[in-house]
Amino acid sequence: MGKRNKAVGSNAEVISNASPIIINGEMIGAVVVFQDITEVLRLTEELQRSTSVINGLRDEIIKLSEGRGRFDDIICESSKMKNIINLARKAAREDSTILITGESGTGKEIFANAIHAESPRAGKPFIKVNCAAIPENLLESELFGYEAGAFTGASKLKLGKFELASGGTIFLDEIGDMSPMLQAKLLRVIQEREIERIGGNKPIKIDVRIISATNRDLLALIGSGAFREDLYFRLNVININIPPLRERREDIPALTRVYIEHFNRKFQKNIKGVTEKAKDMLLSYDWPGNVRELMNILERTILMSQGEWITDDLLRPYFDQVKIKSSSRDAIMPLEEMEKDLIMRALKEFGSSVEGKRKAAEALKISLATLYNKIKKYGIR
Ligand SMILES: Nc1ncnc2c1ncn2[C@@H]1O[C@H](COP(=O)(O)OP(=O)(O)OP(=O)(O)O)[C@@H](O)[C@H]1O
Ligand SMILES: [Mg+2]
C-alpha cells in the first residue's frame, strides 16, 4: 500500500510506493515511485460537492412530488370501492406495472398517488406526466430528456421524467392520448428497462415503477389502430378500474358530508348538511362528471348559500341546466351538433365497448370506421 504525502520541494500530493532492491540477500537500495494525485483529490472533492448538491435536489424533488393522496383520503362507503381499494393496496406493495381506468373525475389520480405512497418506493419521487397536455415533440424530451447540443436551443442537459423518477414511480396520465411514435418508444423503455436521452448515444438504466391512467377505452383505441396492443399488455399487468359514481351511489352521502366540512372550512361557512329533498336529488342524478362534478356543485352551492342547509332549491339551478342541455335536442340545431348528439345517445344506449360501438354503428347505419372517425372529430369520450 502506498503512503500519501507531499513531494519534497513541491505542493503536489503524491502517493509513494517504495520497494527495496535486494541482491544476494542484501538490500542495496530502493526504488520509490511517486504518483501525483493532486488532480485526483481535487476531482474527488468536487465530486463530493456535486453529489451533495444532487442529493439535496433529489430531496427537493421528493418533497415537491410528495403525493397529495393516500388510501385514507379516498372516501367510500360502497363495497365496490372498498374491494378496489383492497386490490390497489395489495398491488401497491408489489412492483408491478398498473393501469388505472375509469371515467373522468372518478379518482384515478388519487389512486395513483395512494399506490405510490403505500409502496416500498414511498419516499422516492412520484413524477406525473400528462401525456395529453403536451405536444408530441415536447413530450419526448419531457420523458427522456436531452443532451446539451442535441438540437438548436438545447444548451444544457435536461433530465427526463424517467430519470427524475429514479427509484420512484412515474405516473403516465392520459396514456390513451400518447402518439404512436412515443408509444413505440415507451414500449422499448419498458422492455429494455433503459432510456436514451435525445441526442445521447448510450442507454441509461432506469429503475422506475410505471403507473398509467386513462379515461379512454383503450380496447376501442386498439381496435381503431390508435393504440398499440403490445404496449397495452405491458401497461395493463394489473388493472384497477374505478366505477363511475352512478354505479356506487352509497358513496354520495359520504362524499357530500366530507366536502361540506371541507368547504365550510374554506369559505368559513356553517352548513349543517343537505335536506331530504336535496339528498334525493343528489342520489338520483347520473353524475357524468363523477366525484369532481359533485365536488364542484357542492363548492358552488356552499359558496352561494345563506342558510345552514343545502336545499333542493339551491341545487335545482344546476340540475335544470343539465336537463335543458339534454332536452334541447327538440330545438333546431346545427346538423353537426345533431349528429354528435345522436352518436352520444347511441353510445350511451349500447355502451362504449368495441361490441357496443359495433351495435351503435349498426343502429346509426354507418360503418364502424366512420363511427370512430366521428367520435374523434367530435371529441366524444
Ligand atoms: N373517493 C374519493 N374520495 C375523495 N375525493 C375524491 C374521490 N374520488 C375523486 N376525488 C376527488 O375528485 C377530484 C377528481 O379526482 P381525480 O383527479 O383523481 O380524477 P381522475 O379520474 O384523474 O379524472 P380525469 O380522468 O378527469 O383526470 C379530485 O379532486 C379528487 O381528490
Ligand atoms: Mg386525472
The confidence score (pLDDT) of residue 379 equals 84
Distance CA 359, CA 352 (A): 10
What residue's CA is closest to ligand 1, atom 25?
Answer: 104
Structural domain range at position 117: 67-243
Instruction: Classify strands 126-130 and 26-36 as parallel, antiparallel or unpaired.
Output: unpaired
**Helices (H) then strands (E): counts for the chain:** 15, 14
One domain, residues 179 and 296: no
Helix 312-327 and helix 290-304, axial crossing angle in degrees, nearest 10: 130
Q: Same structural domain for residues 200 and 305?
A: no
> What is the total count of domains within the chain?
4
User: Quick check: is 54 in a domain?
Assistant: no
The closest residue, in CA terms, to atom 8 on ligand 1 is: 107
DSSP characters over 276-320: HHHHHHHHHS--TTHHHHHHHHHHHHHHH--SSEE-HHHHHHHHH
Q: What is the pLDDT of residue 328?
A: 47
Ligand 2 centroid to residue 379 C-alpha, Å:
17
Q: Which atom of ligand 1 is nearest to the CA of 74?
A: 3
Please state, in angstroms and as integers, the Cα–Cα distance from residue 116 to each residue in 83, 211, 247, following that order. Answer: 18, 9, 26
Reduced to 3 states (helix: H, G, I; strand: E, B; else coil), residue 345 is helix
Kind and range of the H or E run holding 101:
strand 98-102
Specify the residue with its C-alpha closest to ligand 1, atom 15: 107
Closest ligand 1 atom, residue 173 Cα: 27
Same structural domain, 96 and 217: yes
DSSP assignment of 258-281 = HHHHHHHHHHT----EE-HHHHHH
Per-residue pLDDT of the chain (381 residues; tens, 9 = 90+): 456 666 666 677 778 888 888 888 888 888 888 888 888 889 999 999 898 888 888 777 777 766 578 999 999 999 999 999 999 999 999 999 999 999 999 999 999 999 999 999 998 999 999 999 888 889 999 999 999 988 888 888 999 999 999 999 999 999 999 999 999 999 999 999 999 999 998 999 999 999 999 999 999 999 999 999 999 999 999 999 999 999 999 999 999 999 999 999 999 999 999 999 999 999 999 999 999 999 999 999 999 888 999 999 999 888 876 665 554 445 566 788 888 888 988 888 888 888 889 999 998 889 898 999 999 888 887
Q: What are phi and psi of 238, to 5 degrees?
A: -120, 125
Residue whose C-alpha is closest to residue 259's, from 282, 281, 280, 277: 282
Atom 29, ligand 1: which residue's CA is nearest?
A: 292
Report yes or no: 352 and 220 within 8 Å, Cβ to Cβ. Answer: yes
Give the dihedral of Cα atoms 90, 92, 96, 97; nearest 10 deg: 120
Does 110 share its domain with 207?
A: yes
Task: Indicate whether 87 and 121 sit together in one domain.
Answer: yes
The answer to the question of residue 48 being in a domain is: no
Q: Which residues line ligand 1 (CB under 6 A)?
A: 74-76, 102, 104-110, 215, 291-292, 295
Ligand 1, pocket-test mutation among 110, 116, 246, most atoms within 8 A of CB:
110
| Residue 53 included in any domain | no
Q: Specify the residue with its C-alpha closest to ligand 1, atom 24.
A: 104
Pocket test for ligand 1, best of 108, 291, 295, 296 (most atoms within 8 A of CB): 291
Nearest ligand for residue 292 CA:
1
The answer to whether residue 44 sits within a structural domain is no
Q: What is the CATH number of the domain that holds 348?
A: 1.10.10
Q: Which three cell numbers stand for residue 241?
A: 378500474
**What's the CA gap between 126 and 117, in Å, rounded?**
9
Q: Which atom of ligand 1 is nearest to the CA of 108?
A: 21
| 210 and 164 part of one domain | yes
For residue 9, is it within any domain?
Answer: yes
pTM (two decimals): 0.75
